[in-house]
A and B are shown apart, each in its own frame.
Chain A
Amino acid sequence: MKLAYWMYAGPAHIGTLRIASSFKDVHAIMHAPLGDDYFNVMRSMLEREREFTPVTASIVDRKVLGRGSQDKVVTNIVRKDQEEAPSLIVLTPTCTSAILQEDLQNFVARAQEQAKADVILADANHYRFNELTAAEKTFHQIVSHYIDKLKEMPPRSERPSANILGMSTLGFHNSHDCKELKRLLADLGVEVNLVAPEGCSVNDLKDLPRAWFNVVPYRELGRQTAEYLQEKCDQPFVDITPMGVMQTAKFIRAIQKILNGKSVAADFEPFIKEQTLHVSQATWFARSIDCQNLQGKRAVVYGDNTHAAAMTRILTKEIGAHVVWAGTYCKYDGDWFRNEVQGLCDEVIISDDHTYIGDRIAQAEPSAIFGTQMERHIGKRLDIPCGVISSPIHIQNFPVGYRPFLGYEGTNQIADLVYNSFTLGMEDHLLEVFGGHDTKEVLTKTLTASSELNWDEAASKELGKIPGFVRGKVKRNTEKYARDTGASTITLEVMYAAKEAVGA
């Protein structure tokens, strides 16, 4: 047993559901007890999704525990098949099914006989996979399910084209990144053949081999699929994350190399120069005089592999900050991370224990943190500003406005994020030196200045419990009510009566 308050990566089934619900026409059926369909709430709230999340549960209850699921799972699959007519149904095991050890594969086989949709069992054991590794695995599983079926590969597209692999629902700024990548590829004269899994139909997966090559922007998702496609369809892939000016250039050069290898005469150097000088402001911004302040500023970076590694490189190489330590919670892929950030920071930390991360931040005393929502809160407690660069994230990290982290527009966004984090820190520091904001209490907003009203102890205590932002209003309304009714002391009774009368 492990004492835990917080986890960076969710359980395996979340990964499977993220893949399943990213596809357009896939329905996932969880084999789970009541209440485990919390994924639907997350998708509906965080992504502000307009469609019903295509995930239902085949409920495991006391009866199932006693006699096994029997026909329940099969019935639920067949029913969903009729109601929603999806192309694929993914039976998703949970921690509960992992220990019940029912023969889910058998349910799938039985359901397949009656269902029009394809039915598969996600192969993601709760005790061996986490959200990220399960997503990787399920994506590969679905793609290979459809590619393995092909009798012959479709021909390559006439013009250079690429698949973008690894865009998914609830991914950090994925929809913006996807748009930016499409734009970048279009600028390079590369057609986008297919984006998967987000927004893709499983029936279109058969067209994956048409692309000349694959793009895998994130380390955590799509790589296994890209490797599979490389072997199966002889498709090379680019697995450089185009985040930051240098990596974006490297990404473009890798594409150039692939195209040149297929005897397309492409020279992207002028494009890289033009974009770096004029479209991206990041290079100039870093050079400009007011960014001199950032030179040598101490920062710590923590997040998933992709974002923490890219951010560390940007801070050190493109901004001139000093990364005291860089860390990742992707322990299963720690060697890759260590390798990526070697020489870019003083120390590498590979841990998914948030209290340890908190302690290390406190010890490092950086001027800014770049991390997940957890580090943002650690920063709040320590009074250190934090820019959020990676999942796990909250609703404010699903902005409506255009906020890619990848490509040339991404470099602008990151420049703002970095600069704002550090200036806020500087401003705070100056405020402290000069005695802070004008904190004199504004008395005119309440009646307290001229008030002769007494609040008895219980009532004052109660008032103190009311959230700060409405407390003033409650106080005013209650005192007004007390005056109107001629009460000289405000007791709990008077408070509640005021609430009943005037909604104070």
Chain B
Amino acid sequence: MVPESTTLSSPTFECETGNYHTFCPISCVAWLYQKIEDSFFLVIGTKTCGYFLQNALGVMIFAEPRYAMAELEEGDVNAKLNAYDELRRLCLQVKKDRNPSVFVWIGTCTTEIIKMDLEGIAPKLEDEIGVPIVVARANGLDYAFTQGEDTVLAAMASRCPKPQPQKSEEEKKSALRSLFQLGGKKPAEAPVETVDHKPLVLFGSLTDPVVNQLTLELKRQGITVSGWLPAPRYAELPVIEEGVTYVAGVNPFLSRTASALQRRMRCNLITAPFPIGPDGTRAWIEAICRDLGVVPKGLEEREQQIWDALKEDMDFLKGKSVFFMGDNLLEVSMARFLIRCGMIVHEVGIPYMDKRYQQGELDLLDKTCQQMGHTPVRIVEKPDNYNQIQRIYEVKPDLVITGMAHANPLEARGINTKWSVEFTFAMIHGFTNAHDVLKMVRKPLDRNTSLKSLGWEKLIQEV
């Protein structure tokens, strides 16, 4: 199914029916409420939304999460009840019980259809109850899975504070320094010379260890990260200075956040591939250095060092083929990394492709294909899962990266699968975690090799 022509290495783009399986974007509350420690996420939707969250997030439900459903009843839908009064009642209750620093209201399909004016209600209620309310419409009518985070961060971007003008240059610097050295500890290693550059804010929600790793990685180049969107606490949202601050995304699904920062907050957006895989990480750092006017040093060696450590996994994966059914928008970056590792990519399914925001990534994919002699990658937007499964039967890939709905049935047919959602929850960014990505990709192949002697590969009745 991969097009034959090899003269052209730019990817081909297709668009199918959009009949594919993915998580509802409200799932973003699962990781965002943990990331933003003083937040409370209120999902305004129906039992359907609640049932999804309850089942998809499994054990997290029992840990007294800082999120809840505002479950709409018939009276809400036919407007017998007043949305303002209802939301006020629930938010006051949550405020009393949990005292959050910020409410994030997640609008759903139902609030869209009944046209509940959340953006209009929020500022009024915010004044009344004295807690900021951020509104994000993360619904299944418009978005897929990880794009939920994008809508939340885009809404949060406009809440980033402006710099305090009266501060002197020296104060500003020390403020930045203390922000960076949380807890005011002295770095243990010989400090790298910091370069004077325009402020840099990174956007995208990553677990704290990965935040630390990427921050350190930039520190090695003398670059100071002045803040992250989101920050661990709402009160610590990064300062953004219009026309001055540079911003860079860490994940491929953050296009709305990027444009919100660019247009509304007048930030300078650094277009770069995403720091997934050593190749992506290096290119990401290089792009940041380029835009901030810093000369990168030691990056080539650093990248090589990681590739050396990955040698065993790469030898194993070389020549094996992979098929992305597409559900979380990480697909292009993952495919680019795996092609660089010597794998063959049959198809990159993806829910939505923002060619402008992902330009840096697409260029790197193009370059990687040329270098590795890989045929042009077939990128299928809004894929059709049924058609994809027919193509999978046809090309018999060594590995299918897919959602849970298809994983077990494909395994039963002797096709190795990796559950795609794991890549969104695992630490996959930066040099440090490159090995973990390959370990995840290898795992199903290793498992099925170790079961080989069992002699049963197809576990269904052949028709």
Q: Which residues of A are interface residues toward B (Cβ below 8 A)?
A: 1-7, 10-11, 13-14, 32-38, 40-42, 44-45, 48-53, 56-57, 59-62, 65, 76, 83, 94-96, 98-100, 126-127, 130, 374, 377, 380, 392, 394, 456-458, 462, 465, 489, 491-493, 496, 499-501, 503
Contacts and interface: CB of A to CB of B under 8 A. Distances in A.
Interface string B80-123: 01000011011001100000000000000110111000000000
Interface stretch (B140-148, B223-231, B448-456): B140-148
Contacts of B68: 3-5
B118 to A, nearest CB: 13
A100 B70 contact: no
B140 A35 contact: yes
A48 B430 CA distance: 35
Contacts of A83: 386
Contacts of A42: 55
B294 interface: no
**Main DSSP-derived SS at the B contact region:** helix
A44 B405 contact: yes
Contact of B144 (A34, A40, A99, A127): A34
Contact of B69 (A4, A35, A37): A4
Contact of B109 (A3, A48, A60, A492): A60
B158 interface: no
24 contacts: A2-B70, A3-B94, A4-B69, A5-B61, A5-B65, A6-B54, A11-B48, A34-B20, A36-B52, A37-B405, A38-B52, A44-B406, A44-B407, A48-B408, A51-B409, A83-B386, A127-B74, A457-B183, A458-B183, A492-B216, A496-B213, A500-B305, A500-B306, A503-B435
A36 B93 contact: no
A83 B390 CA distance: 11
Given A33-B109, A41-B403, A57-B19, 10 more contacts: A1-B70, A3-B71, A11-B48, A37-B21, A41-B56, A53-B405, A456-B188, A489-B188, A492-B212, A496-B216
Contacts of B140: 32-36
B375 interface: no
B209 A465 contact: yes
B73 A491 contact: no
B432 interface: yes
Interface of B: 18-26, 44, 46-48, 50-52, 54-56, 58, 61-62, 65, 68-74, 76-77, 81, 86-87, 89-90, 93-94, 109-110, 112-114, 139-145, 183, 185, 187-189, 208-209, 212-213, 216, 305-306, 309, 386, 389, 403-409, 412, 431-432, 435, 459-460
B403 A493 contact: no
Contacts of B81: 1
Contacts of B50: 4, 6-7
B386 A35 contact: no
**Main DSSP-derived SS at the A contact region:** mixed
Contacts, number: 194
Nearest to A55: B405
Nearest to A380: B62
Nearest to B20: A34
Nearest to B58: A394
A212 B319 CA distance: 62
A50 B415 CA distance: 12
A11 B61 CA distance: 18
B56 to A, nearest CB: 7
Given A1-B70, A4-B68, A44 B404 contact: yes
B65 A50 contact: no
Given A44-B408, A60-B141, A83-B386, A3 B70 contact: yes
A99 B114 contact: yes
Contacts of B185: 456-458
B408 A11 contact: no
Contacts of B460: 50-51
Nearest to B62: A377
Most chain A C-beta atoms within 10 Å of own C-beta, residue among B71, B109, B403, B459: B109
A126 B306 contact: no
Contacts of A100: 113
A61 B432 CA distance: 40
Contacts of B86: 1
Most chain A C-beta atoms within 10 Å of own C-beta, residue among B48, B113, B208: B48
B73 A1 contact: yes
B281 to A, nearest CB: 12
